[in-house]
Amino acid sequence: MTRQVVVTGLGMTTPVGGDAPSSWRAILAGEPGIARIDEPWTHDQPSKIAGIMAVDPASCLAPHEARRLDRSQQAALVAAREAWADAGAPEIDPDRLGAVVATGMGGLISLISSYDLLLERGASRISPHMVTMIMPNGSAAHVGLEIGARAGVHTPVSACASGAEAVSYAARMIQEGRADVVVAGGTEAVIHPITMAGFAAMRALSTRNDDPAAASRPYDIDRDGFVMGEGAGIMVLESAEFAAARGAKIYGVYGGSGLTSDGHHIAQPDPEGRGATRAIAGALSDAGLSTGDIVHVNAHATSTPQGDIAESAAIVAALGSHTGNVAVTGTKSMTGHLLGGAGAVESIFTVLALRDRLVPPTANLHNLDPQINLDIVAGAPRPLPAGDIAALNNSFGFGGHDVALVFRSA
Amino acid sequence: MSQQILEGLAAIVNEVAGVPVADVQLDKSFIDDLDIDSLSMVEVVIAAEDKWGVKIPDSEVKNLKTVGDAVTFISANSK
């Protein structure tokens, strides 16, 4: 009998809000946080738009904290403080407390900035914090230090599936008895000419530069790529017994996870979504649920032409005849793609949808691609039924990583 | 001169480590009183070198135990 894991605290900083409540309000209202990047370096960039964090995370930190953290680490720390406070700052033996914070690219921008500084002013000007700013485990380590975690601090890295993998890893730590409380999530902040150029070279980014708010449009026939986003999402997971003993408020229940790999291509999805299908089936099995229990999917839905079709095929293959009863949404239509932060932020949206029994709309969906055979929520939020309900959150990453998470209503 | 260096150093220590400016006094130890760790001390050194045009070699840094030691070194070596 594995231990049940519940969600007791939420925190985030995203392109649509500086915290979880404001982000969730914007998502329910269908308001995209995508804008033109106001920098001279965009002049030769195919994609000149992005979802910049609505609130600069550095402004939420003391100056001496901000200066020794990469922007992705700043976002993670801001979101973690919100989530920890939201959970009521549990009193716990540090040996039973963990932190799992994922990232796709770590402190890449700090590395580039430091190299610029080195070329300009020499080796002696490099910050003694550079190494800890660029290491991918830096966010997890800083969050772990913040709360005093000693049960383990970990950083899964699986590109755009990283945040979801972190939630899965954290839940396992609790299920296996390594920890009673784990602060889990993902973060990313790599909006920079070099990354924009790299993703553009893959022809992965939307170039709808004249209408940024309409650029991220999952499932719409006129979608043309994803929109770069940045931010972090952190949730506090704890064993149900520990949460009950301290009278914690429960947002939702972690059901289970499925993790597979495509074995197909380094960056393109398997057109039939077979790895994703197996991940969804695995998550349902791990959660002890059947396809009919799922009422909502927060899809990966990046707004790329091929990716959305492959995921649609996977959802249909995994849920079969129940697919038509499932309200699917793509919240990247509003946040853009937070890469390693996406799976965590969208897990939080999934938990909030179950709590409020309200599925947020997919923004910018005007003409459904006929190859998408899903019931996509668009225009306005859609109510979910009463009673015990469950939802899926899908995340996939370059490299062929597939992660599906199941959450249940509290 | 020394007072100006003390004030400048206090601003740097505040910026680097968040220590209140008023706490940065001549008799205070960087490590024991101001809780400046070795990494932050490197930041203080870099900022001081930039501000006063001095070179503070690593071999000298370990002798700068108090804020007063740093003020004395900077005022003796700045251009």
What are the structural domains of chain A? 5-245 (3.40.47.10), 255-409 (3.40.47.10)
Asked whether residue A50 carries a pLDDT value surpassing 70, the answer given is: yes
| Placement of tokens 């003694």 in the chain | A128
The Cα of B39 is separated from the nearest Cα of chain A by a number of Å equal to 6
Helix (H, G, I), strand (E, B) or coil at A167: helix
Contact A62 B18 (CB under 8 A): yes
Contact A129 B39 (CB under 8 A): yes
Q: What is the rounded average pLDDT of the residues A134-155?
A: 98
Asked whether residue A348 carries a pLDDT value surpassing 70, the answer given is: yes
pLDDT, position A93: 98
pLDDT, position A196: 98
pLDDT tens-digit readout, A207-249 = 999 999 999 999 999 999 999 999 999 999 999 999 999 999 9
Q: Which of A99-103, A269-273, A276-280 has the lowest mean pLDDT?
A: A269-273
Q: Which residues of chain B have pLDDT under 70?
A: none
Q: What residue numbers bound the domain in which B19 lies?
A: 2-77
The Cα of A121 is separated from the nearest Cα of chain B by a number of Å equal to 11
Contact A67 B42 (CB under 8 A): no
Q: Is B78 left (phi over 0), alpha (psi -120 to 50) or beta?
A: beta
pLDDT tens-digit readout, A152-203 = 999 999 999 999 999 999 999 999 999 999 999 999 999 999 999 999 999 9
Q: What percent of chain A has pLDDT over 70?
A: 100
Residue A164 CB partners (closer than 8 Å, separation 6+):
A186, A257, A342, A343, A344, A346, A347, A393, A394, A395, A403, A404, A405
Average pLDDT, rounded, for chain A: 97
Ordered DSSP codes for A106-149: TTHHHHHHHHHHHHHH-GGGS-TTHHHHHSTTHHHHHHHHHHT-
| B chain contacts of residue A125, beta-carbon cutoff 8 Å | 46
What is the C-alpha separation between A248 and A255, in angstroms, rounded? 18
Banded model confidence at residue A1, pLDDT cuts 50, 70, 90: low
Cite the DSSP H helix spans in A299-393.
Answer: 305-319, 332-335, 342-356
Count of domains observed in chain B = 1
Hey, which residues of A are catalytic here?
Answer: 160, 300, 337
Q: What percent of chain A has pLDDT over 90?
A: 100
CATH code of the domain covering residue B6: 1.10.1200.10
A405 pairs with which residues across the strands?
A257, A393
Contact A64 B15 (CB under 8 A): yes
A124 touches chain B (CB under 8 A): yes
Tokens representing A106 are 């770590």
A129 touches chain B (CB under 8 A): yes
| A chain contacts of residue B46, beta-carbon cutoff 8 Å | 124-125, 127
The Cα of A109 is separated from the nearest Cα of chain B by a number of Å equal to 20
Contact B46 A125 (CB under 8 A): yes
Q: What is the rounded average pLDDT of the residues A29-34?
A: 98
pLDDT tens-digit readout, A257-266 = 999 999 999 9
pLDDT, position A213: 98
Tokens representing B58 are 């690593």
A95 touches chain B (CB under 8 A): no
Long-range contacts of A57-64 (CB under 8 A, 24+ apart): A57/A13, A57/A232, A60/A13, A60/A18, A62/B18, A63/B15, A63/B18, A64/B14, A64/B15, A64/B16, A64/B17, A64/B18
| A chain contacts of residue B56, beta-carbon cutoff 8 Å | none
What is the C-alpha separation between A155 and A132, in angstroms, rounded? 14
pLDDT tens-digit readout, A54-69 = 999 999 999 999 999 9
What is the C-alpha separation between A199 and A201, in angstroms, rounded? 5
One-letter amino acid identity for A298? N
Asked whether residue A295 carries a pLDDT value surpassing 70, the answer given is: yes
A64 touches chain B (CB under 8 A): yes
The Cα of B23 is separated from the nearest Cα of chain A by a number of Å equal to 16
